Amino acid sequence: MEKIVLGIFAHPDDAEILCAGTLSLLSKAGWSVHIATVGNGDKGTTTHLRDEIISIRSAEARKSAELIGATYHGLLIEDIYIFYDRDALNRATSLVRKIRPTLVITHSPSDYMLDHEISSKITQTACFTAGIKNMDVPEEVFYSIPTLYYCDPIEGKDKYGEIVQPSNYVDISTEIEIKEKMLASHESQQSWLQSHQYSEYILAMKRFSAKRGKQINTSYAEGFRQHLGHGYPQGNLLKETLGDLVVVTK
């Protein structure tokens, strides 16, 4: 089995908030780690022009990824204009074929904003269409559908405010320091998010990680649900790889 994991998210810093601890553990376990964003980050600013903030956020994402030896990829679609369309699906399919991952992680299908939800749907489809010959992408067909997991939605609740219960918790207590450093790499976002959503950007991440940790009697954790629809792998690859660090609840 090739040990390659690809996280596909809407924006630079989403992976850091949602699953950086797990990605760090996989890296330590010998996996090749790739982090991709569908959006280019152009809306995450109160001060910069578009080209400036795109460049800044791309550099921040690369810096963060390098902290765990990961590689960053950008699909370079404008924030907010992430649509489930031909262009986005081809870009995502192309990336999956290039990386050829065994394991893919993405957003919850139901979350607080559509960029997250649409990126989740694009990723789900790309895992499947990577193995479809007549897709309009040049890369060689990748016939092995990756094992797919969804992260927690932000604050652990869906867009209706209903609590989302993970089926897999990953104990990231040993990785919380690197997770914090990775998130702190996104310096441009601290003032933006403080003005728009969070008053305490990094502390909010740590509080939620601690909440998930408490649910499995550890200090910090991240939650996941596995995509178990027809045609997708059914084995719990996170559990098989990380062993006792993964607590399965259902």
CATH code of residue 184: 3.40.50.10320
Query: For residue 235, what pLDDT is reported?
Result: 98
Q: What is the pLDDT of residues 110-155, one digit of tens each?
A: 999 999 999 999 999 999 999 999 999 999 999 999 999 999 999 9
pLDDT 10s per residue in the chain (250 long)?
899 999 999 999 999 999 999 999 999 999 999 999 999 999 988 889 999 999 999 999 999 999 999 999 999 999 999 999 999 999 999 999 999 999 999 999 999 999 999 999 999 999 999 999 999 999 999 999 999 999 999 999 999 999 999 999 999 999 999 999 999 999 888 766 655 555 577 889 999 999 999 999 999 999 999 999 999 999 999 999 999 999 999 8
**How far apart are alpha carbons 175 and 199 in whole angstroms?**
24
Q: How many other CB atoms sit within 10 Å of the CB of residue 205?
A: 23
Contact 216, 247 (CB under 8 A): yes
Give pLDDT, residue 250. 81
0.75 cut: is pTM over it?
Answer: yes
Tell me which residue range forms the domain holding 213.
Answer: 4-248
pLDDT score recorded for residue 190: 75
Query: SS3 string of 136-193?
Result: CCCCCCCCCCCEEEEECCHHHECCCCCECCCCEEEECHHHHHHHHHHHHCCHHHHHHH
Q: How many domains does the chain have?
A: 1
First to last CA, the chain: 25
Say if CB 64 and CB 186 are below 8 A apart.
Answer: yes
For a pLDDT cut of 70, what percent of the chain falls above it? 96
- Residue 197 has what pLDDT? 55
